[in-house]
Amino acid sequence: MTNVSNVLKPRFKPSHPGLVFKRQVLEGYELSITEAARRLGVSRKHLTNFSNGHVPCSLDLAQRIAAATGSGVAVWINLQANYDTWLAEHTDTPDVVAFG
Amino acid sequence: MTNVSNVLKPRFKPSHPGLVFKRQVLEGYELSITEAARRLGVSRKHLTNFSNGHVPCSLDLAQRIAAATGSGVAVWINLQANYDTWLAEHTDTPDVVAFG
DNA sequence: TGAAGGTGTAACCTATTAGGTTGCTATTGC
DNA sequence: GCAATAGCAACCTAATAGGTTACACCTTCA
């Protein structure tokens, strides 16, 4: 697993998008989870789980956060993609037969 | 929706990861969908659907393709993320109350 | 001290979806 | 004709996003 991309781009475990949301957005706007959930149109339970890194950032949630904050939806999708990538690189790879 | 990022990074609709897989990987290795499905350990039906852009690239599939081709899993996750981003930017945004 | 609001978490339910199996039809090459 | 491939449909399952409700535990404030 030591290839060029790893050498050029050493990876530490990225923050879960929910933690970024909590620290950057909620604290930045001084919003409670309860109030943010109301404005986003999602349940408080779900936003709590997301903000604590227990559930991934779905496309729907990414769209809502982007719409409410004025940020691009790509930010949240890519945060999740980076997080997923790190996980995928650090879990066992499924059994396959190599191509070529 | 006309912001700096759109100006700097004009977006055309990205190819579905499955089409990339079909054109670049299958044709490159001269593999049939049937044979590739066998090697990846997924059903032929599912790989057909993926290769024709009917189903997204799941994390599991991304891991399998990466393992079989020696490419990084990030490639496939990011292809899907870019595709998702484009779709999210070109569909109606859900109803939310702005922060701040 | 007690009420109010915020937080975390658990149990339960529903809708969606990834993915499998089977079977049919069409196409291509031997 | 026949074998292999491809696309697609119907159907089934396991997993998951997300909701509702409820409970326990803080703070803060009157």
Residues B64-84 have a mean pLDDT of: 97
Give the residue from chain B lying closest to A76, CA to CA: B85
Q: Which CATH class is domain A15-89?
A: mainly alpha
Task: Report CB contact under 8 Å: A97, B70.
Answer: no
A31/B contact by beta carbon, under 8 A = yes
Instruction: Please name which of A71, A72, A33 lies closest in space to residue A54, comparing C-alpha atoms.
Output: A33
Domain boundaries in chain B? Answer: 15-89
pLDDT of residue B9: 58
With contacts defined as CB-CB under 8 Å, which chain B residues touch A43? none
Query: Which residue, among B29, B32, B85, would best test binding to A if mutated, counting the most A CBs under 10 Å from its CB?
Result: B85
pLDDT at A96 over 60: yes
| DSSP codes joined into one string, chain B | ---HHHHHS--PPPPPHHHHIIIIIIHHHT--HHHHHHHHTS-HHHHHHHHTTSS---HHHHHHHHHHH---HHHHHHHHHHHHHHHHHTSPPPP-PPP-
Task: Report CB contact under 8 Å: B41, A95.
Answer: yes
State pLDDT tens for residues A30-80.
999 999 999 999 999 999 999 999 999 999 999 999 999 999 999 999 999
Can you say whether the dihedral through the CA atoms of A13, A16, A20, A26 is positive or negative? Answer: negative
Burial of B32 (0-12, 13-18, 19+ CB in 10 A): exposed
State pLDDT tens for residues B78-90.
999 999 999 999 9
Output the pTM of the full model. Answer: 0.91
Helix (H, G, I), strand (E, B) or coil at A13: coil
Contact A37/A43 with Cβ under 8 angstroms? yes
pLDDT of residue A9: 59
State pLDDT tens for residues B8-56.
556 789 999 999 999 999 999 999 999 999 999 999 999 999 999 999 9
pLDDT at B3 over 50: no
Strand C proximal residues, A:34-63, Cβ < 7 Å? 34-35, 44-45, 48-49, 51-52, 54
